[in-house]
Amino acid sequence: MSSYLLQIFFWAAYGVLHSVLAGTRTKHFFQQKMGKSFRYYRLIYNGIAFTLLGALWWYQRSLPAERLWSGYFWVDVLGNFSLFVGLIVAFLALKEYDLGEFLGLLFLKKQAPNQLKTSGMLHYVRHPLYTGTFLVVWGLFLKDATLKTLIMAICLTIYTLIGIYFEEKKLISSFGDDYLAYRRRVPMLFPKIF
């Protein structure tokens, strides 16, 4: 049981560190300290995030695979479907973003002015990348059906929902009434069916 508590602690620590490093105050602090080198901040941030995520994934894989159920074909099919759709949604969402900016490679080109994007997947949901993330992690849980994967899915869901709250505040600060109108029109994570 203590290994699962450690897993929860690692996911929480990852979430806090990831959020703090993405925060406006932290960026401002490093911008003052790094000077011209600050243009590499996003690249360094992503490197830290992926390295820690890899270490967390490795730790999680070392935990026992205590299955919560087994032998349900339809659950496995649902898990595969969720995983597949989540990957497609995440891929389509990434197409709407400037991958150079997203990955931290802006130092390779001239930075364009920040604009509110509402095309493609962003026409249907405000946070399609997070929609894809939810579908992937819960699909993995349905396929794997282990306690460690359930803990991961819950931790990532909670972290993402908290992250969305703060991201929305930043977007309102950046785009004001335009974003508020967009938020009234477009749902957060899942498109309106009717």
Convert the pLDDT of each residue in 22-34 to its tens digit.
888 898 999 998 8
108 has pLDDT over 70: no
Using DSSP's 3-state secondary structure scheme, residue 67 falls into: strand
pLDDT confidence band for 113 (50 / 70 / 90): low
179 close to 116: Cβ distance less than 8 angstroms: yes
Region of poorest pLDDT, from 63-67, 104-108, 146-150, 177-181? 104-108
Pairwise CA distance, residues 129 & 93, whole Å: 5
pTM: 0.85
Outline where 23-146 has alpha helix (H): 24-34, 41-62, 73-95, 99-103, 128-144
Q: Measured between alpha carbons, how far is residue 140 from residues 9, 62, 145, 153 in Å?
A: 21, 17, 8, 8
pLDDT confidence band for 140 (50 / 70 / 90): very high
Sign of the four-CA dihedral 86, 127, 11, 153 = negative
Q: What tokens appear for 28 in the block?
A: 């401002």
- How far from chain centre, in Å, is Cα 180? 22
Q: Which residue has the tokens 């759709």?
A: 85
- End-to-end CA gap in the chain: 45
Q: Measured between alpha carbons, how far is residue 104 from residues 7, 98, 119 in Å?
A: 29, 10, 22
Q: Which residues pair with 67 in a beta bridge?
A: 146
189 close to 125: Cβ distance less than 8 angstroms: yes
Mean pLDDT of the chain: 89
